[in-house]
Amino acid sequence: MKGLPSQLPYTDDHNTFRDMVRDFVNEKVAPNHEQWEKDKIVPREIWAEAGQLGMICPNFPAEYGAAEADFLYNVIVIEELARVGASGFFVSLHADVIAPYILHHANEEQKKRWLPGVVDGTKILAVAMTEPNAGSDLAGIQTTAVDKGDHYLVNGSKTFISNGYLSDLVITVVKTNASRGQNGVSLLGIERGMEGFERGRKLEKIGLHAQDTSELFFNDVKVPKENLIGKEGYGFRYLMSELATERLVLAISNMRSAEATLEMTVDYVKTRKAFGKPISKFQNTQFKLADMYTEQLAARAMLDQVIIQFMKGEKVTVQASQAKLLCSELLKRHVDECLQFFGGYGYMTEYPIARAFLDARVQSIYAGTSEIMREIIAGKGLGL
């Protein structure tokens, strides 16, 4: 398959970094992913190895142990993991979604305390927003943090928390003032080992089996005031300020996953025979694959433009929502159509296409559902 030349300004240094990341992914991640799916968790050691190679937060400042590179290095890591379907090793959640809360909103003491471990892969991050009765509506959370002078007393629970089992530091969304609605939401850094902080079961999901998604429980957890991130009552606006980045990195991952799925399918139809000839020779096969190929080229062109805008520091709230909506829905549809070409083999979970099908379903749900994306696009983009 041949696509359009990338619109992204990759240099020789970027390409060298991609070669290194690809080698690591091919040698250390892809061969072990099936076992990680059975274990329902990725070993901590792989995080540390990735950190040593500079794969985690490469765009962060050098003073915290990072390379202080541009965002394209992050894009490369996201794409190479998506290329092999490594849905359990959730580096982008840790590095591109959660770590920026610390970099952009924490004080200097907190940054020095937490970020070196974040960058070298020894301090794994989670963000705890979703609750049993509060998903997209963050203002509806019930977890409370009561001011006790030198600490907060936290009570409540969270669910569907990615990296929830492995995490050493959980950026937790709490209500510090229940009467103030959105203005009563704050962010606390709750750390492994704090008394009363417990992890529930690793949740059974239809896909992303290697991703440790779990419940978290807070029972009179004493969290020192030193772990308040930013200002009390500013949590909701901090969350809103970082959501565009989260949606963009998911769009990048979804886009590369869709491309990898199509590449896999093109290779398969050339070798699979029916009625005495490869199924690639049937018009139905050619037309469906041609449509998907064309749609992916168009989506990639749009996504590259949003990445460029983001790297220039432009506000991309609407554009990131559009990219996330387009790429997540495209991935779901394309992986379903591609699976059909594999026939009965496509229904067997030992085949990558089946695992890709299962992993794709959640992409239009987390980080804001497709319905929420449409609300943002209609309201902020169209002024409706």
The catalytic residues are 246
Going 290 to 84 to 308 to 323, the CA torsion angle's sign is positive
Nearest to 47 by CA among 99, 102, 120: 120
Residue 5 neighbours by CB under 8 Å, 6+ apart: none
